Amino acid sequence: MTDFDLVRRDLDRKTHDPESARSKLAARILPRAVTDFTASAPFFQLDEKLETAINMALAVGAPLLLTGEPGTGKTQVAWFLGWYFGIEVFPYQVRSTSTSEDLKYDFDAVGYLRTAHDPSPEKRRRERHEFLDQKALWEAYRCTNDSVLLIDEIDKAPRDFPNDLLQELDKHRFKHPFKEEYVEPASGRPPVVVITSNAERRLPDAFLRRCIVHHIELTEELVERAVEARIRGTDQDRDFPIELDQATRDEAIGRFWELRDPAHNLHKPPSTGELLVWLTLLSARRVTAEKLRGEKLRFLTGIEALVKDRDDLRQLLGPT
């Protein structure tokens, strides 16, 4: 486990050695199984309903639309499927400015115009299609094997974005922007499509009709299984807090559910992702069950890993 106290406020500034501090910084072992989707994919836990939804989507070739709180593992499903089937994952992170074309390709218009107007005779005149940069959907179609296409947080996109993908979801092809031809899956089979949404706004009915929709509920059983899966990791997975004893893990999970109590009315209650990071920090600081039991919620060790909203922190303080 990496030394937790890399930065100290009570250092002797006269004798402080930046080179020594820098060597400790370079020696950090970052917790890949907590922050890396590929590394954590083998630990992902399915409940029965999610398993059914995945198999339904695979059986009929429909996109799997996953909704739920941030941090409940929606995005991780795509990487789990990539690990489970041993196939490549092509992720696309949706933004507020995304268009359906951004999912397919990027065209370097500036580079094309610069080349087109370059008078140098030694430079070859390049065709427009040579300035196309293929993006997630095109890359998934180009893959000669099965693959997973992840469209992450689709509810961030403009209203027309989901509707502009209806042909791709139905026909599994799209028109080449500069050629009289269609781009289709090279494998002859469409990629496995996983779409996530934090349900910040309603998606169009025509889009929903084409999807298998599943809402991931955060349950006590799911949390317990997620933690236990990491605890049982091999020696190669020691970046997860396997050093926490059962009593400390139980106490930490209990305080986690305490924070999620609706009575606290938190705008952003912690989810599985925050819990796993928090457990890592508790392990690094060698926190005990007794210490956790004696702390008020607002002053829990590592509360910053659990509660990210400033107003929520004020809410936990209660009346002053």
Q: pLDDT (tens digit, 9 = 90+) per residue, 260-318?
A: 999 999 999 999 889 988 998 898 888 999 999 999 998 999 999 999 999 998 888 76
Q: Please give the average per-residue pLDDT across 2-27, as a whole number.
A: 85
In sequence order, the β-bridge partners of residue 174 are 183
Q: What is the three-class DSSP state of 79?
A: helix
The radius of gyration computed from the CA coordinates of the chain, to the nearest angstrom, equals 24
Q: Please give the average per-residue pLDDT across 3-27, as a whole number.
A: 86
Q: Given pLDDT bands bounded at 50, 70 and 90, which one contains residue 18?
A: very high
Q: Please give the average per-residue pLDDT across 93-98, as a whole number.
A: 93
pLDDT at 1: 47
From residue 153, give the alpha-carbon distance in Å to each of 83, 207, 311: 21, 15, 24
For residues 19 and 75, give the distance between their C-alpha atoms in angstroms, rounded to a whole number.
39
For residues 5 and 24, give the distance between their C-alpha atoms in angstroms, rounded to a whole number.
10
Structural domains of the chain in order of their starting residue, each with its CATH number: 48-215 (3.40.50.300), 219-317 (no CATH)
Q: Which two tokens stand for residue 270?
A: 């912690």
Which are the contacts of 85, defined by CB distance < 8 A and separation ≥ 6? 146, 148, 192
pLDDT at 50: 96
**Listed residue (108, 102, 215, 224) closest to 165, CA to CA:** 102
Model confidence at 222: pLDDT above 90: no
Model confidence at 57: pLDDT above 80: yes
User: How many CB atoms within 10 Å of residue 230?
Assistant: 21
Q: Given pLDDT bands bounded at 50, 70 and 90, which one contains residue 156?
A: very high
Considering only 14-23, 164-173, 206-215, 225-234, which range has the smallest mean pLDDT? 225-234
Model confidence at 108: pLDDT above 70: no
Considering only 45-59, 83-97, 117-131, which range has the smallest mean pLDDT? 117-131
Q: In the 8-state DSSP scheme, what is residue 202?
A: P
Q: Please give the average per-residue pLDDT across 70-83, as a whole number.
A: 93
In sequence order, the β-bridge partners of residue 139 are none
Q: Given pLDDT bands bounded at 50, 70 and 90, which one contains residue 170?
A: confident
How much of the chain exceeds pLDDT 90, in percent?
51
Model pTM score: 0.83
For residues 41 and 87, give the distance between their C-alpha atoms in angstroms, rounded to a whole number.
12
